[in-house]
Amino acid sequence: MTATADAGITFKPLGPTFGAECIGVDFSQPVPEATVQAIRDGMTTYGVLVFRATRLDDAGHVAFAARFGDLDDQTPWIHPGTPYRLGPYTQLSDVGNVEADGRVVQPHDIRHQINQGNGLFHVDCSYNPRRAGYSMLRAHALPPRGTGGGTAFADTRAAYEGLDAETRARIQDLVLWHSLWHSRRLGAPDSAVLQGVDPEHHPMARHRLVQRHEPSGRTNLYVAWHAYRVDGWTRDESRPLIEALLHHASQDRYTFQVDWENDGDLIIWDNTCVMHRATGGTYQGKHVRDMRRATVLDSSPTAWGLNDQTVERSGMFASTTKSTKWANGQDDDVKTQAA
């Protein structure tokens, strides 16, 4: 274990090359600035930090996340005129399997089909002009133990370092186009609705494939299953390279899984050097898995990639979009603009 004396916390390493459990943070009161800085330092080293049984509620979750930077909000995903299940906390992303009426989402529901993309290794918000920095995922209510629902992580700094010299040289200057709808289609190949969505008809974001991870100074492989194609290449030309890099980065030697243990568990990861995915389980369609995520927008020099600094973001709804139209496959009604 590694202790941080001035903040009174301890880091217990978890994965082969990254990840740690952070012990000793008291979330029952505002977290001291020295502790916030120690968490930042821990994130620089480990990329993923696990906090057990924090007892944070939605308000505390948002307040804690805001200590680390500007927060994303969920307005592009909220149906116009419909109360948000986590309202008024639109800074929290509803990534659980619970409807507003308490019903567990079923496999035939479009929401379940969309969320299948979360089972592929990805980074949050790479499809937006300004990408995500830290993600802070909290378990509000977990399914019964033994029914699955873990979260796996992949170390993309170590994965870059594990590439051979020839591959490093080949990818050094490449830029990737990232698309939310591309990964959603990949995650649900049997969904007629999602297979009817053409990613080319929706905004994508461009980010360099090889980047310097600013906090650690290490080189990072910024890739995800959101990656649609290489800039200047066709989709068919791009696919073999993208998939080879993703398979390389998701080898056992670069990954580990966190099993959620308690309501109130919190995991923070740095999307600029770590991929993640939901591992699924038998709870799906049967038991509540209510997960809530705050997303801290990246503030590094590469936060905006090669994109215009615009408020446009990917989502399901614009101010006039109706979910019934989208679910019926009327793809032109799927706007990806901020409300």
Residue 292's identity, in one-letter code, is R
pLDDT in tens, the chain (339 residues): 776 646 789 999 999 999 999 999 999 999 999 999 999 999 999 999 999 999 999 999 999 999 999 999 998 888 888 899 999 999 999 999 999 999 999 999 999 999 999 999 999 999 999 999 999 999 999 999 999 999 999 999 999 999 999 999 999 999 999 999 999 999 999 999 999 999 999 999 999 999 999 999 999 999 999 999 999 999 999 999 999 999 999 999 999 999 999 999 999 999 999 999 999 999 999 999 999 999 999 999 999 999 999 887 887 653 323 232 333 333 443 333 222
| Domains, the chain | 2-333 (3.60.130.10)
- Of the candidates 328, 324, 332, which has an alpha carbon nearest to the alpha carbon of residue 79? 324
Q: What is the pLDDT of residue 80?
A: 83
CA–CA distance, 264 with 276 (Å, rounded to integer): 19
Q: What is the pLDDT of residue 3?
A: 64
Q: What is the pLDDT of residue 325?
A: 33
Dihedrals phi, psi of 40, to nearest 5 degrees: -60, -45
What is the model's pTM? 0.92
Tokens, residue 82: 């419909």
Q: What is the pLDDT of residue 6?
A: 62
Strand 227-230 and strand 210-213: the pairing is: unpaired
- What single-letter DSSP state applies at residue 321? -
CA–CA distance, 132 with 145 (Å, rounded to integer): 30
Rg (alpha carbons) of the chain, rounded to whole number = 19
Q: Are 332 and 232 in contact (CB under 8 A)?
A: no
Contacts of 313 by beta carbon, 8 Å cutoff, 6+ apart: 76, 125, 128, 129, 336, 337, 338
CA–CA distance, 61 with 266 (Å, rounded to integer): 9
Contacts of 336 by beta carbon, 8 Å cutoff, 6+ apart: 76, 180, 202, 203, 312, 313, 314, 315, 318
